[in-house]
Chains A and B, each alone.
Chain A
C-alpha cells in the first residue's frame, strides 16, 4: 500500500521539517496549481515521470520555468538521443502510487519506487521554498530545499541536484555526465532469476542488488540476502556468512556430476578394473581449478566476515 498524504505529512512533522500546506481543488497541471498557490511566495515545481527503453524510471523535479530538453537529458544519461519518454499512466499508479498529475519527489518514499532515479533541478536550491504535491493533488505543500533533502536522506536517498539546462557535449571522450543517475540493473545468464536492480545515489554508493539467492546454489558457501540497502541511519547491512555446509554441498555436487559422467557402460568396458584410477585422475585434471576457485570464494567470504566483525568491535572496558 502506498504512503498516504497524511502519513507523509506526519512523517515530515516527525522529522521536524518546516512546511506550509495549502488545500485546493484537485489540480492536474502546473497552470491549474498556479491559480491557487501561485502567489503564496513559494516557487512552483514541475515534475515529470519518465522511462527509458530498458524500463528504468526517473522523476525529474524542476522549477516550473526551467527548460527541460528530453533529448539532451537522454544523452546526458547515456541513453542515446531518443532514449527517454514520458512514462505511461499505469506506471504512475503502479510504481509511484500517486494519481495522475501528482508526480512529486516525495513519491520515492514508496517501496515500489525504490529503483526510480530522482533528478532534482539545481534551480530548486535558489528558491526560498518550493511547492510540491504531498502524494495527493488536492494539496500543495511548500518546503525549502533543506527540508526536502532531510526527508530524502531519512529514506536513504542522497539528493542529487543537477543543472537541467546545461547541454554538455557527449561523445567518445566525454562520457554522459549524468550516467551515474541511471538506475542500474544487470543482465543475467539464463537459468538464473533476474537480479533486483540496485539503488544508486549520487555519491556512488551502490547498494548491492547484485546478490541473488538463487536455488541453484549460485554461491557455494554464501548466504546472501537480496538487495542490501545501506540506509543513512547507520543500520548494519547484513553480512553474508561463509557457510561450510553449503560449500561442501557445492563441492560434492560438482564431484558427483563428474563421477556420474565418467562412469558409463562404455567407460567400464574400456577400463575395467582400472576405471577407478582413471576416474581419480580425471577428477584431478578437471576439478582442481574449479574447486580451488570455490575454495577461494569461501576463504574470502570468511575473511570478510571476520574483518567486518573486527573493525566494528568496541572494546568493553569496565
Chain B
C-alpha cells in the first residue's frame, strides 16, 4: 500500500480526525507529529508576545504548553500589532450528549482568545458529519448539536461576539458557494490521500471536507463580515484536525483568500493513562461535565493512573514517575497557580508528597471546574441557544 500523506506507515502512530493511536500502545510522539505535519512549535517567545499584545497574563494552556503547535501565528500577531484584527473559528462534532473535560479544552482556550484579543468567533457544529460518520439520524444529530451548544455556551462566550451554527441549518448561500470553490480545487485522489477514504466510503464522506474548510473564509459569513474579505482567521483546535486545514491552506491562495492560521493542542489523556483511550462507552475513562462531586472523587481515586510507587517506603525513596502520572498531567491542564503546581511536582517527584494528596488536590480543582460549568450550563436556555445561533449582525464584535 503506497504511503498516504498524513498517514504514517502501519507500525507508526496514526493521527487523523477519526483516529488517534500511538505506536505500539505507547505515547504519542508530538515532535514526530509536528515534523510529519509540517507545523511549527509554539515556543516561549510566542507566549511572551501574546502577553505583551493583550496586556494580560497568558492562559494556563499557553503557559503549560497544552497549545504547543501553530501555523502562521506570527502573521496573525504581526497583523494584530498593525491594527488588523482577525476572527476565531472553532467547532465540535456533536457525536454524543455527554461532554467530558477533554472536549471543553479548545473551547476554554478559545474563550480566552476572544476576551484577550477582543475578536469575534464562529463555532461550527458539524451535525452533518456525525450523521454521516456515526450513522445518526438527521434529527438526532441536530438534537445533539443543540445540546452540545448549551455546554459550549456555558464556557462563557460573549453573545455579542459569537455566532454558533449547525451545518444542517446554515449550509447554503455564500457558505455553499465557497464550498464549491474549495471542492473544485481538491482532486478525489488528494482527498483520499489526506483522509484515507476508500472505494467503500459513501460520497457524503468524500464531499464533507469543504464544509469544515470554508468557515476559515470571512466571505462565508456575509451577515458578519461583509466587505471584510481581507479578514484573517485563527483556528484553535486539537492537532488531529490539522489535515482539514492543511487542505484548506493549500486551496486558499488559489481562490484568493488568506490562509487560515492555526493554534493546536495536545490530546487530553484518559484517566487510565496516556496509552488508554477515552471512550464514550467507558464512563470511567474521563471526567464528564455532568459528573457529581462524588463521581469525580470516585473516578480520580479509583481509576486515575498514577506514577506513585507501590509502597510508601518505596515512594519516599524513589519519588513518583511524573512522566506517566495522570493526576499531575490533569493538574498541568487545570491548576491555575504555577507556583503551586511547581511545588507539587517537586515534592511528589521527590517522594515527599504522596499520591493521595495529589489526587485530593486534583479532585478539588476538578470539582470546582465542573461545578462552575454546571451552574453556567443551568443558565443556558433554549432561547439563548436560538439567539447564539441566529443569523444576525454582530455590530460590536471587535469591541
Give A290 to B373 CA distance when docked, in angstroms: 11
Give the shortest distance, in Å, between B184 (CB) and chain A (any CB). Answer: 31
The number of inter-chain residue pairs (CB within 8 angstroms) is 113
Contacting pair B160 A303 (CB below 8 A):
yes
- Of A37-45, A103-111, A185-193, A260-268, the segment with at least 4 beta carbons within 8 Å of chain B is A185-193
Contacting pair B372 A175 (CB below 8 A):
no
Contacting pair B136 A293 (CB below 8 A):
no
Contacting pair B379 A188 (CB below 8 A):
no
Contacting pair B156 A296 (CB below 8 A):
yes
Of all chain A residues, the one with the shortest Cβ separation from B153 is A300
As a 0/1 sequence over residues 170 to 201 of chain A, the CB contacts with chain B under 8 angstroms (1 = contact) are 00111101011000101111100000000000
B364 contacts partner chain A, Cβ-Cβ < 8 Å? no
Contacts of B294 in A (CB 8 A): 190
Contacts of A224 in B (CB 8 A): 378-379, 381
Give A307 to B393 CA distance when docked, in angstroms: 12
Contacting pair B381 A177 (CB below 8 A):
no
- The 8 Å CB contact of B135, one of A175, A202, A210, A296, is A175
- The 8 Å CB contact of A174, one of B135, B160, B377, is B135
As a 0/1 sequence over residues 125 to 146 of chain B, the CB contacts with chain A under 8 angstroms (1 = contact) are 0000000001111011011001
- The 8 Å CB contact of B139, one of A173, A180, A187, is A180
Residue from B143, B374, B379 having most chain A Cβ neighbours under 10 A: B379
A70 contacts partner chain B, Cβ-Cβ < 8 Å? no
Contacting pair B379 A239 (CB below 8 A):
no
Of all chain A residues, the one with the shortest Cβ separation from B96 is A175
Contacts of B134 in A (CB 8 A): 173, 175
A299 contacts partner chain B, Cβ-Cβ < 8 Å? yes
Give A210 to B378 CA distance when docked, in angstroms: 6
Give A299 to B367 CA distance when docked, in angstroms: 25
Contacting pair B139 A297 (CB below 8 A):
no
Number of A residues whose C-beta is below 8 Å from B? 44
Give the shortest distance, in Å, between A224 (CB) and chain B (any CB). Answer: 7
Give A307 to B371 CA distance when docked, in angstroms: 28
Contacting pair B378 A308 (CB below 8 A):
no
Contacts of A301 in B (CB 8 A): 379, 384
Contacting pair A300 B158 (CB below 8 A):
yes
- Of B285-293, B300-308, B355-363, the segment with at least 4 beta carbons within 8 Å of chain A is B285-293
Give A125 to B376 CA distance when docked, in angstroms: 43
A203 contacts partner chain B, Cβ-Cβ < 8 Å? yes
B192 contacts partner chain A, Cβ-Cβ < 8 Å? no
Give A221 to B156 CA distance when docked, in angstroms: 15
- The 8 Å CB contact of B159, one of A179, A186, A239, A304, is A304
Give A173 to B392 CA distance when docked, in angstroms: 36
Contacting pair A189 B293 (CB below 8 A):
yes
Given contacts A206-B146, A208-B382, A212-B378, contact A190 B290 (CB under 8 A): no
Give A30 to B288 CA distance when docked, in angstroms: 45
Give the shortest distance, in Å, between B372 (CB) and chain A (any CB). Answer: 7
Give A179 to B115 CA distance when docked, in angstroms: 37
B147 contacts partner chain A, Cβ-Cβ < 8 Å? yes
Contacting pair A202 B139 (CB below 8 A):
yes
- The 8 Å CB contact of A304, one of B97, B376, B384, is B384
A237 contacts partner chain B, Cβ-Cβ < 8 Å? yes
B383 contacts partner chain A, Cβ-Cβ < 8 Å? yes
Give A141 to B206 CA distance when docked, in angstroms: 52
Residue from B143, B378, B380, B390 having most chain A Cβ neighbours under 10 A: B378
A218 contacts partner chain B, Cβ-Cβ < 8 Å? yes
Of all chain A residues, the one with the shortest Cβ separation from B373 is A293
Contacts of B97 in A (CB 8 A): 184
- The 8 Å CB contact of A300, one of B290, B367, B384, is B384
B189 contacts partner chain A, Cβ-Cβ < 8 Å? no
B187 contacts partner chain A, Cβ-Cβ < 8 Å? no
Given contacts A187-B295, A189-B371, A204-B142, contact A211 B158 (CB under 8 A): no
Contacts of A239 in B (CB 8 A): 381, 383
Contacting pair B139 A204 (CB below 8 A):
yes
Of all chain A residues, the one with the shortest Cβ separation from B292 is A189
Give A307 to B390 CA distance when docked, in angstroms: 9
Give the shortest distance, in Å, between A210 (CB) and chain B (any CB). Answer: 6
Contacts of A218 in B (CB 8 A): 375, 378-379
Of all chain A residues, the one with the shortest Cβ separation from B56 is A288
B281 contacts partner chain A, Cβ-Cβ < 8 Å? yes
Give the shortest distance, in Å, between B337 (CB) and chain A (any CB). Answer: 10
Contacts of A73 in B (CB 8 A): none
Give the shortest distance, in Å, between A301 (CB) and chain B (any CB). Answer: 7
A240 contacts partner chain B, Cβ-Cβ < 8 Å? yes
Contacts of A188 in B (CB 8 A): 292, 374
Within 8 A of A (CB), among B110-128: 115
Contacts of A230 in B (CB 8 A): 382
B370 contacts partner chain A, Cβ-Cβ < 8 Å? yes
- The 8 Å CB contact of B147, one of A172, A206, A299, A303, is A206
Within 8 A of B (CB), among A249-299: 290, 292-293, 296-297, 299
Give A260 to B279 CA distance when docked, in angstroms: 43
Given contacts A240-B381, A299-B160, contact A172 B281 (CB under 8 A): yes
Give the shortest distance, in Å, between A203 (CB) and chain B (any CB). Answer: 6
Give the shortest distance, in Å, between A169 (CB) and chain B (any CB). Answer: 10
Contacts of B383 in A (CB 8 A): 237, 239, 304, 307-308
Contacting pair B381 A304 (CB below 8 A):
yes
Contacting pair B143 A204 (CB below 8 A):
yes
Contacts of B53 in A (CB 8 A): none
Contacts of A307 in B (CB 8 A): 383, 386-387, 390, 392
A113 contacts partner chain B, Cβ-Cβ < 8 Å? no
Contacts of B376 in A (CB 8 A): 293, 297
As a 0/1 sequence over residues 219 to 239 of chain A, the CB contacts with chain B under 8 angstroms (1 = contact) are 101101000101000000101
Contacting pair B160 A179 (CB below 8 A):
no
Contacts of B381 in A (CB 8 A): 208, 211, 224, 228, 239-240, 304
Give A177 to B134 CA distance when docked, in angstroms: 11
Give the shortest distance, in Å, between A249 (CB) and chain B (any CB). Answer: 15
The 19 listed contacts between A and B (C-beta, < 8 Å) are: A175-B96, A180-B143, A189-B292, A203-B139, A204-B139, A206-B143, A206-B147, A211-B379, A221-B379, A237-B382, A237-B383, A296-B156, A297-B156, A299-B160, A301-B379, A301-B384, A303-B159, A303-B160, A311-B390
With A173-B135, A174-B135, A206-B143 given, can you name 4 additional A-B contacts, CB distance below 8 Å?
A: A189-B293, A206-B146, A219-B375, A222-B379
* The 3 nearest A-B residue pairs measured at CB: A204-B143, A307-B387, A219-B379
